[in-house]
Amino acid sequence: MEKEEKVYMISALVEHKPGVLYSVSNMFRRRGFNIESISVGEAEQPDLARMTITIKGDEALVEQVVKQLKKIISVIKVSILDPKNTVSRELALIKVSTPDARVRSDVINYTEIFKGHVVDVAHESLIIEITGDTDKINAFIELMKPFGIREIARTGIAALPRGMKSVKME
């Protein structure tokens, strides 16, 4: 029987200081684990940062990753987020070719349908900002491919558990 591979989101509360991201990413490198996405930013306490790490694998892999993260001194707390009880979002900036008025109009209409925003206009391109879950971002990118995507920048997933459940220092 083959192990089921799926996407896991891990939330880690870490010290907000130089070298912590390096320590975490180096652990992944040493163990041969791949990071699908990672986002890091200041948490509710200024001396702490919250990392949301997305990995693909089976249950054994994610448990191993959590164990290894907990061994890093700068890591305060680690939790696997339950997708059913988690709010997650990603931001993408997508530069799309718009060589004429008809194409520009089509791209703007699709952007509005996806509740995105045009954040830059040039003679032959638009930059669109879109936020949402990963499936929404991927669907928009697929829709834009026939127009000609020039560049994409994605933030990675930021996530928090719903309700009163928290990944914070006790």
Q: Please check the confidence at residue 170 and state whether its pLDDT lies above 80.
A: no
6-81 with 87-158: one CATH topology?
yes
CATH number of this structure's domain 6-81:
3.30.70.260
Class of domain 87-158: alpha beta
Q: Please check the confidence at residue 66 and state whether its pLDDT lies above 60.
A: yes
Give the whole-angstrom CA distance, residue 66 versus residue 87.
20
Give the whole-angstrom CA distance, residue 16 versus residue 19.
9
pLDDT at 168: 60
pLDDT at 121: 96
| Paired sense of beta strands 149-154 and 75-81, if any | unpaired
How does residue 5 score in pLDDT terms, banded at 50, 70 and 90? confident
pLDDT at 46: 86
pLDDT at 169: 57
Identity at 138, one-letter amino acid code: N
What would the pLDDT profile of 86-102 be if each residue is shown by its tens digit? Answer: 999 999 999 999 999 99
Phi/psi for 142 (5° steps) reads -60, -40
Residue-averaged pLDDT of the chain: 92
pLDDT at 62: 92
Q: Domains of the chain: which residue ranges? A: 6-81, 87-158
Q: Kindly state the average pLDDT of the residues 17-35.
A: 92
